[in-house]
């Protein structure tokens, strides 16, 4: 990963730094789904959840994450279902309700 003070040098570096989680069926959708996300820093001052709009992905926050981490926050930046590098199959609902279930799961 290439991370500098402003963020990752390329979107490919950001993608390579994402973690992956497979949520079981019914956690967010009727089938198992894969969620990609960034989880950086320690929660010394708390946790910040960065949720992108549609149709973007977590990379939207690539320049915001490093200063938040340096300030003492844990930062979570998931890719919503159907966006970024999270599951993009056309086999499940992408409603705000399912996105919310994915976040809480």
pLDDT in tens, 12-51: 999 999 999 999 998 888 889 999 999 999 999 999 999 9
Please report, for the chain, the start and end positions of each structural domain, with discontinuous segments joined by +. Answer: 3-104
Higher pLDDT, 72 or 100: 72
State residue 48's pLDDT score: 98
The CATH architecture one would assign to domain 3-104 is 3-Layer(aba) Sandwich (3.40)
**Confidence bin at 6 (pLDDT 50/70/90):** low
pTM: 0.84
Q: What is the mean pLDDT of residues 77-95?
A: 84
* 3 vs 21: CA distance, rounded Å: 22
Between strands 3-4 and 74-78, the pairing is: unpaired
* 94 vs 86: CA distance, rounded Å: 12
Cβ count near 62 (within 10 Å): 20
Share of the chain above pLDDT 70, in %: 92
The yes-or-no verdict on residue 2 having pLDDT over 80 is no
């Amino acid at each position: 990963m290439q991370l500098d003070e402003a963020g990752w040098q390329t979107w490919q570096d950001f993608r390579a730094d994402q973690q992956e989680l497979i949520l079981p069926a019914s956690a967010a959708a009727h089938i198992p789904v894969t969620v990609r996300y960034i989880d950086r820093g320690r929660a010394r001052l708390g946790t910040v959840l960065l949720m992108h709009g549609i149709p973007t992905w977590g990379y939207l926050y690539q320049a915001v994450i490093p200063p938040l981490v340096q300030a003492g926050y844990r930062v979570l930046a998931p890719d919503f279902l159907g966006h970024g590098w999270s599951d993009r199959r056309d086999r499940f609902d992408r409603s705000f309700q399912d996105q919310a279930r994915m976040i809480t799961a």
